[in-house]
Every structure is written in C-alpha cells, then in structure tokens.
Amino acid sequence: MALQAFDRAVAGLPPHGGNLFLADVAHGRAAAWDALGDLHRAVSLAEETVRLRPSSSEDWLMLANLYDRERRFEDGQRARERAANLSPGQTLPIEPQSQR
C-alpha cells in the first residue's frame, strides 16, 4: 500500500529531515487519501504540504481543489490566489473546480 511506503520513507529520515522531502511525502499521502475517498485526511495533508513548501503553486492548487470539494469555497479561493501570486504570468484556474 502506498501509505505504508510513505511511512517507511519518513521513518528512515534523520531527526531534522528536509522539508522538501517531507512536503513530497505529505503531497503523496494527500493524493492517496483522496483516492481512497477520505477527503478530510487529504485536506489535512495538503495543508501540511503547503506549510512545508509554501512556494509551490501546484501544492496550493491541489489544496484549493480539495477545499472546493469540501465546499470551503472561500478557503479554496484564497489558496487559488496564493497559487496565482506564486506563478505570475501563468494561467491558473481562478474559479472553484466542479465537484467529482
């Protein structure tokens, strides 16, 4: 299972493992929980991802889309705006994504 692989990867880190690696793991866990249908856990891990790697517009967009699916549209819009600010000149979705 993917989630167990993420646990093993983190267990092998030194006490102060790199934030970028931890952000990758949190991002992967968020995607896994989303695929398993646990939106609440997916959102929590996507929030952890942007705390660890706040400069990634991709991570902010993932969080925005998860917020939209939780019907947290204001939070989704703020996350989407953060992504847009990180990627000037790039076209990013500015409206909430449709429900799955």
pLDDT tens digits for 66-90?
Answer: 999 999 999 999 999 999 999 877 6
| 14 CB neighbour count, 10 Å cutoff | 6
Which residue shows structure tokens 């699916």?
69
Whole-model pTM above 0.75? yes
| pLDDT, tens digit (0-9, with 9 covering 90-100), for 14-73 | 556 578 888 999 999 999 999 999 999 999 999 999 999 999 999 999 999 999 999 999
Name all domains of the chain by residue range, CATH numbers in brackets. Answer: 18-86 (1.25.40.10)
Is the Cα dihedral 38, 44, 45, 49 positive or negative? positive
Which residue shows structure tokens 């299972």?
1
- How far apart are the C-alpha atoms of 79 and 13, rounded to whole Å? 29
